[in-house]
Amino acid sequence: MLSSRRETLARLALASAATLFALGIMEVYLRLDDRRPPMELFRVELSGHPYSFRESPDRLRDLGHAVVFLGDSFTQGAACPREEAYPGALERLAQARGLDLEARNLGIGGTGPFHYAGLAEDLLATGARPLAVVVTLFENDIELDCGACRYEPELDASGELLDSDREELAQRCAACRAPQARAQDERLLLGLHEASYVWRLLRRAAAGFAVAMRWDFEGMARRDKKWADPAGLPRRLMRFAVARTGEQLRSAGIPSLVLLYPGVVSLRPDAPFVELYRRAAEDLSSASGLAVRSGHPAFLGRPNVREDMTYSLTDGHPSCEAHAMFAAFALAELGPLLALRSAPPAASRVAPP
């Protein structure tokens, strides 16, 4: 009997050691698969608000021949060098075609539509007059972001918020103003994400399975419902933010374009967000008066497109190849807007930050 127990324990110890060894090998492989150049960020202050961009302050001083790109980590190019993220890729493509056009990437990871509205407002307040502005929205931009707190009084005065909406907004803004109050379990999950690539892979696999099964996974399975409901608070807030951005740019006489950057995990015609983006683009365009385009045509039906064009096994951001494809699409969409401009803009100067 004792010998049998010892044999069982020995087998368990051997199995545990083999599992740990396999996980260690997987961790090393995933780290190599996800290797990337470090991202250098520059701190810039616009109208009293601090920002961190991949663009140096020098590149923000003269925007007369530049298209400014606003967005989150998809625009920023979280997994690619600055020149290979889609704004940089667009600039190289435009100049290869002989176009006098530069790009300025003002994407910031973890932001959303209200942040883009505030950034556009702050940029214009410096006297900057870029050639055009492109706002890039991603599927997680349907979530309420901390940038909405800046517009809390205006949202309250708009008459569109229900009492429950005001309560939700107030709770969100309270959390935004006290990020140190983040729950312990949330801090633990963030620590695991930073420490282990195996954890990232397992989490991503679980998220993909949950979404495919229409289950909720940290709110991800609900995003399609939020995009699909024009009367829901998320869509109403997004319309407000996009319309606010459009008003600011129109008042300055600057052409603008809104692109909905698709997730690059399910690039197939029957994916749910294909139709959701198309309808949302029509709705946002009607509400804001801006040109709003779904970004799925950048990929669907194109040669060399794979269903999954993410950067690595553990990173769902677009690969540099996907950025290049989206850049070509964005440049084609920009063409008609820039052709509408009757005269070249005067050189625009921004005071050194």
DSSP state of 12: H
Which residue in 225, 227, 241 sits closest to 158, CA to CA? 241
pLDDT digits (tens, 9 = 90+) for 11-42: 888 888 888 888 888 888 888 888 888 889 99
Which pTM was predicted? 0.86
d(CA 149, CA 151): 5
Report pLDDT for 186: 58
Cβ-contact 164, 172 below 8 angstroms: no
Residues paired with 67 in a beta bridge = 103, 132
Find all residues with CB under 8 Å of 56, minimum gap 6, and list them.
42
Q: What is the pLDDT of residues 184-212, one digit of tens each?
A: 555 665 666 677 877 777 777 776 666 56
155 or 86: which carries more pLDDT confidence? 86
Q: Residues with Cβ < 8 Å from 339, sequence gap 6 or more?
A: none
Round to whole Å and give the CA distance between 278 and 260: 9
Cα–Cα distance list, 310 to 86, 131, 263 (Å): 14, 31, 9
- What crossing angle do the helices spanning 197-212 and 2-33 adopt, rounded to 10°? 90
Determine which helix (DSSP H) or strand (DSSP E) holds 238, and give its type and residue range: helix 233-251
Residue with structure tokens 């807030």? 237
pLDDT tens, position by position, 104-142: 999 999 899 999 999 999 999 999 999 999 999 999 999
CATH entry 3.40.50.1110 includes domain 42-182+217-339: yes
pLDDT tens-digit series, residues 295-347: 999 999 998 899 999 998 888 899 999 999 999 999 999 998 887 444 444 44
